[in-house]
């Protein structure tokens, strides 16, 4: 590939932003053009940590977007800014890498999709980072290969107390976090939608939420989300961003010819087990444990799993490389605003369903959703 140099602007550079910036800087085809954070001290400190000049800092988004040689931005600010900042960057003609959630306002989410429809040459990506996890990739392929037959039920949990220490206290505030689904539970929904994509699409959502919060979240932190697929299969997501011990990313995929369980709270060799009429003679095998799996079915020892709270192990390099490769190839990502819209729609539908106390169809009726969410 004849790679051209890509000028990068960062929007936010805290915990996740610094991890991503380091991965961008590791690429020979990227040069940093600027960093926007409202707080000079924090912005300059982040630049120092990644070995860049403090002169890259700017205190205005408009100034960043007006810089010469800026091709792409990476948005890693608090959730409530993602929608407006991505739309400003799109209007300025930039490619956009956006941390999840894509937006906390429904109207901004619609505008992102509409922009992409009319400007397909601008590459966009929502960082549903578990898309790049090697266990999740394997699971998608196993389902596509029919190892479990037709999947009839799939459960994916996200229960993990999100970090609100120090400056991350913004995650408690309704106007900055948006909602608990977009904040984190969306990871489980993205895994569910991508795992099922070879067999079915979500068509209806029923959700309930609980406002009980130990740490002072201004939005309900506990969610039960039930997803119906267009072939009759069902999905369940148990979410909690407030409390728990460890990271519960439990998966149970149940099909007509097999099943897989991923238990993130178990010790590593026991975390994954599956059976398949097609592949294991209908016996349970543990593909991370050489003592309980035939050599031919063992997975590589470096197989990543989705239960690490450490973003460095959350495939940040793969996410950044994917975005840059999409730009270099001029090819839209499966995680673009439009291509990943169904994942966000399941989240919006869950918010509506919990308020209305009834199931909500997806894709949403945009007029109905707009009137529900306002704007
Ligand atoms: N995909 C993942 O696995 C993952 C993991 C962690 C965080 N995230 C996402 O990354 C984003 C940042 O989270 P974090 O944990 O790094 O938070 P953080 O508090 O550590 O960092 C926030 C950064 O945004 C800057 N900021 C504050 N207000 C801003 C504004 N108006 N415009 C631009 N920058 C602003 C701060 O100066 C800071 O640099 C969130 O959207 C979060 O959902 C994603």
> What CATH number did the domain enclosing 143 receive?
3.30.360.10
Banded model confidence at residue 308, pLDDT cuts 50, 70, 90: confident
Cβ–ligand 1 distance for 81 under 6 Å, the answer yes
pLDDT of residue 69: 98
Ligand 1 pocket test, candidate residues 9, 10, 17, most atoms within 8 A of CB: 17
Query: Ligand 1 within 6 A of 309 CB?
Result: no
**Geometric angle at alpha carbon 211, from 205 and 216, rounded to 5°:** 135
- CA distances for 285 relative to 239, 265, 277, angstroms: 28, 18, 12
Contacts of 55 (CB under 8 A, 6+ apart): none
**Shared-domain flag, residues 29 and 167:** no
> Of 308, 329, 351, which residue is a domain's last?
308
Number of structural domains the chain divides into = 2
Q: Is residue 342 part of a domain?
A: no
| pLDDT value, residue 128 | 97
Does 212 fall in a domain? yes
> Which neighbouring-strand residues pair with 260?
253, 274
User: What domain range is 155 assigned to?
Assistant: 131-308
The per-residue pLDDT for 316 is 94
**Nearest residue to 53 (alpha-carbon basis) of 64, 44, 62:** 44
184 inside domain: yes
State mean pLDDT over 227-234. 98
Asked if the structure places residue 194 within a domain, the reply is yes
Domain shared by 272 and 243, yes or no? yes
- Calculate mean pLDDT across residues 113-138: 97
**Hey, what's the torsion of the CAs at 191, 192, 195, 198, to 10 degrees?**
-140
Residues 184 and 256 in one domain: yes
In a domain, 101, yes or no: yes
> Does the Cβ of 86 fall within 6 Å of ligand 1?
no
Task: Write down the pLDDT at residue 122.
Answer: 98
Same domain, yes or no, for 220 and 288?
yes
Confidence tier at 307 by pLDDT (50, 70, 90): confident
Contact 264, 309 (CB under 8 A): no
| Ligand 1 neighbourhood includes 41 CB (under 6 angstroms) | no
Grade residue 313 by pLDDT with cuts at 50, 70 and 90: low
Query: Could you tell me if residue 64 is inside a domain?
Result: yes
CA of 133 to the centre of ligand 1 (A): 21
Same domain for 294 and 161: yes
Asked if 91 and 170 sit in the same domain, the reply is: no
Do 274 and 298 contact (CB within 8 A), yes or no?
no
Q: Where would I find the H helices in the chain?
A: 15-25, 40-49, 61-65, 82-91, 106-118, 134-144, 174-177, 180, 186-196, 316-329, 341-356, 366-373
195 plus 321 within the same structural domain: no
Asked if residue 262 and residue 157 are part of one domain, the reply reads yes
Average of pLDDT values for 275-303?
A: 96
- Is 62 domain-assigned? yes
Quick one: 146 and 222 in the same domain? yes
Q: What is the mean pLDDT of residues 60-66?
A: 98
pLDDT score at 106: 97
263/291 same-domain check: yes
Q: Which tens digits make up the pLDDT trace of 169-187?
A: 999 999 999 999 999 999 9
Q: How confident is the model at residue 83 (pLDDT cuts 50, 70, 90)?
A: very high
pLDDT surpassing 60 at residue 1: no
Q: How many CB atoms lie within 10 A of CB 51?
A: 8
The answer to whether residue 248 sits within a structural domain is yes
Statement to judge: residues 201 and 278 lie in one domain:
yes
Contact call for residues 353 and 224 (beta carbons, < 8 A): no
Mutate to test the pocket of ligand 1, among 13, 14, 312 (most ligand atoms within 8 A of CB): 14
* Mean pLDDT confidence for 107-122: 98
């Amino acid at each position: 590939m004849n790679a051209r140099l890509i000028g990068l602007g960062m929007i936010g550079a805290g915990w996740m932003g610094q991890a991503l910036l380091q991965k961008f800087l590791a690429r020979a085809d990227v040069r940093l053009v600027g960093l926007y954070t409202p707080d000079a001290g924090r912005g300059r400190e982040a630049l120092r940590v990644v070995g860049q000049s403090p002169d890259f800092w700017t205190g205005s988004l408009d100034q960043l977007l007006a810089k010469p040689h800026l091709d792409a931005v990476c948005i890693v600010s608090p959730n409530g800014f993602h929608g407006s900042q991505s739309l400003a960057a799109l209007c300025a003609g930039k490619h956009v890498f956006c941390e999840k959630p894509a937006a906390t306002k429904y109207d901004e989410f619609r505008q992102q999709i509409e922009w992409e429809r009319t400007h397909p040459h601008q590459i966009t990506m929502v960082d549903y980072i578990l898309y790049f996890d090697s266990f999740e990739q394997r699971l998608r392929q196993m389902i596509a290969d029919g190892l479990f037959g037709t999947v009839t039920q799939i459960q994916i949990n996200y229960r993990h107390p999100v970090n609100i220490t120090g400056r991350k206290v913004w995650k408690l505030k309704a106007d900055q976090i948006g909602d608990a689904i977009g904040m984190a539970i969306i990871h489980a929904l993205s895994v569910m939608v991508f795992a099922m994509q070879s067999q079915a699409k979500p068509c209806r959502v029923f959700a309930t939420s609980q406002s009980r919060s130990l740490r002072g979240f201004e939005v309900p932190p506990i969610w039960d989300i039930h997803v119906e697929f267009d072939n009759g299969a069902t999905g369940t997501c148990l979410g909690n961003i407030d409390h728990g011990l460890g990271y519960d990313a439990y998966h149970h995929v149940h099909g007509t010819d097999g099943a897989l369980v991923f238990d993130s709270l178990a010790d590593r060799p026991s975390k994954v087990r599956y059976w398949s009429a097609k592949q294991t003679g209908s016996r349970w095998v543990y593909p991370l444990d050489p003592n309980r799996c035939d050599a031919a079915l063992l997975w590589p020892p470096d197989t990543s799993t989705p239960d690490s709270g450490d973003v460095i192990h959350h495939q940040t390099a793969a996410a950044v490389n994917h975005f840059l490769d999409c730009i270099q190839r001029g090819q839209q990502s499966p995680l673009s605003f439009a291509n990943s819209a169904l994942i966000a729609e399941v989240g919006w539908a869950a918010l509506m369903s919990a308020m209305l106390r009834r199931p909500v169809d997806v894709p949403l009726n945009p007029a109905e959703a707009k009137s529900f969410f306002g704007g």
